[in-house]
Each structure stands twice: as structure tokens, then as C-alpha cells.
Structure 1
Amino acid sequence: MSKFLPIFRIIALLEGVSYILLLFIATPLKYFAKDPQYVKLLGMPHGLLFIAYVVMAILMSKDMKWNNQTLWIVLIASIIPFGTFYIDKKYLKTKNA
């Protein structure tokens, strides 16, 4: 088990939640209610979490000896809504965690 696993799981969860909030709540409010404050509020934290997710995925790939295909799946999941939740269930959740 990787020493980065608990940290990566938390970052993946937060990144996924921030993406869903940004995509399905803040963006519609910006365009339909003409209220951009939520996009401004969520944009920066989501961007930082996205960068942290990518960096941690690369570190995890070395620790867990993922092949390139697995790494690409984990990285691509970060741009698909609910993708990080799938990654947590499929690749990160262990029987001991």
C-alpha cells in the first residue's frame, strides 16, 4: 500500500465534489441567474485541487506500480464528472482501507 493513498483519496474526493459543484451549480447560476460569484468562489479551490490530483496521481503511479494505461485512466477521470469517485472505488479502495 502506498504511503500517499490516504492523502490521494481525500484529494480525489474533494476534487470530485468541487468539480460537481462548479459544473452543476455554479455555472448554471452564472449563466441563468447572471450571478458569477459562485464560479469565482469555487474556481480557484477547484483548480488547486485539480493540480494536486494530477501531481498525486503521478506520485501514486510510481508507488503502486501502475502501468501507463492505468495512469491515463486515473488522469482522464479527473475531467469527467463523477470520475474521481469511480477511480476511488475501482483503483484506490483496498480491503484494509
Structure 2
Amino acid sequence: MLLSPADNVFVLREAVGEGETLVIDDRAVTLPHRLDRGHKIARRAIAPGEKILKYGAPIGSATAPIAVGEHVHIHNIKSDYTATHVIERKQEEPAQ
């Protein structure tokens, strides 16, 4: 699902199984692993440092090259808004 014409990612409307093929701009892309509904895949190739656009707004930056149809998630993007050390510290803090 394309949420905005400016987006460089699609959002999956339903889960896609390992080995399934999607067609993106007349190009067949076979997914190497299952992705659940709501996950993002690259609409086009994305270079390291490039902004990830969803709803027409930047949600983070690519930390590695991302190929067309590749899963776009925390393994290859970083948030421009929430520092990773803040997330890690909150997970490590004991419950009160």
C-alpha cells in the first residue's frame, strides 16, 4: 500500500510468506522471509543516509543500501527522532 506519492516505501496490507513474489514497478521481487502486515518494503533503491519517507514525511534514515522490495526496518534504518541509546536504556531499567 502506498500511503503518499512521495513515499519510498510500501506498507504491507497483509502478511507475505517466505518465497512469495511481488511485482514492484514491473520488477519481480521474491521475498527471502515472511513479513507481517504493517511492515515496510522499499519502493525503490534507497542509499545509505537517505531519508525513509512514509505518509510523505521522513521517519528515519537508511543505515545501509536498501534494494527494491527489501524489508525496511530497524536493521537498516535509524530513527531521526528517538536515539537508540534512549530505547536501550529504557529496556534495561528495572520495573518500579
Question: TM-score if structure 2 supplies the norm length?
Answer: 0.27
Larger strand percent:
2
Question: TM-score if structure 1 supplies the norm length?
Answer: 0.27
Larger helix percent:
1
| Larger relative contact order (CA 8 Å, sep ≥ 6) | 1
